[in-house]
Amino acid sequence: MLDSDDARGAEAVVSGCEYHGRRAVVKVRPPKTYRHPELDLHIRTTRTRNEARLLREARDAGVRTPCIYDVDMASCSITMEHVPGGSVKDLLDSDPGSAERVCGMIGETVARLHSASVCHGDLTTSNMILTDDGICLIDFSMGCSKASLEDIGVDIRLLERAFTSAHTELSSGFDALMESYYSGIDDPDAVRRKVEDIRNRGRYT
């Protein structure tokens, strides 16, 4: 859900709009004048194209994502379905009691995404919306398809960090999340080892 009419991130501007009578949002990447114009255009178009492609690939894999209505490369914008519901971050902050149930759903969703070799690239609870029919993932601009074990490990490590920084009191929720995640992927031991490896790397650099 949009906090206000405009939710401003570092790169993109998300605003509510209408698309053929449907409630929609438009995510625009305006030019950044501090970047070299050619590089700026490259970053904006690459991220826009990548996000639109991954929203679709994740959806094809059975992960709930906003339906895309239009992509306009000239303005680097994606018009998509407005997904009703609050962010999982806000829910966990305001109602920690919901963690066990919600975390299991997150684990299942991410397992489905990774099983299709799609990595998200910014897997935090701010980029998840709880809808009536499960978790909807948004904000795929930093993700990739044909994900390697390393990409997948980095995704999980990001999620782990989100829980240790933003949801410190929810460690049992995170355990439930990982349990449902590992039971939903093909080679849990390999991912477990990779995440451990990335965690240790972070510790010594």
Ligand X SMILES: Nc1ncnc2c1ncn2[C@@H]1O[C@H](COP(=O)(O)OP(=O)(O)OP(=O)(O)O)[C@@H](O)[C@H]1O
Out of 51, 57, 108, 139, the residue judged to bind Mg ion by CB under 5 A:
139
Nearer to ligand X, 14 or 119 (CB): 14
- Does residue 87 belong to the site contacting Mg ion (CB under 5 A)? no
- The continuous run of DSSP H or E covering 25 comes out as strand 22-28
Per CB under 6 A, residues contacting ligand X are 1-2, 7, 9-12, 14, 25, 27, 66, 80-83, 87, 122, 126-127, 138-139, 141
Nearer to ligand X, 132 or 189 (CB): 132
Which amino acids are annotated catalytic? 122
Least distance between ligand X and beta carbon 63 (Å): 14
- The continuous run of DSSP H or E covering 134 comes out as strand 134-137
CA distances from 103 to 64, 134, 136, 167 (A): 16, 11, 13, 12
- Give the residues across from 15 on adjacent strands: 6, 26
CA distances from 80 to 14, 50, 56 (A): 10, 15, 11
Least distance between ligand X and beta carbon 100 (Å): 23
Least distance between Mg ion and beta carbon 140 (Å): 10
Nearer to ligand X, 51 or 151 (CB): 51
Residue type, 3: D
Nearest-10 Cα torsion for 130, 135, 141, 143: 150
For Mg ion, the nearest residue by Cβ is 139
CA-atom Rg of the chain in angstroms? 17
Least distance between Mg ion and beta carbon 127 (Å): 5
Nearer to ligand X, 91 or 178 (CB): 91
Q: How many CB atoms lie within 10 A of CB 60?
A: 11
Out of 48, 79, 109, 127, the residue judged to bind Mg ion by CB under 5 A:
127
Q: List contacts with Mg ion (CB under 5 A).
A: 127, 139
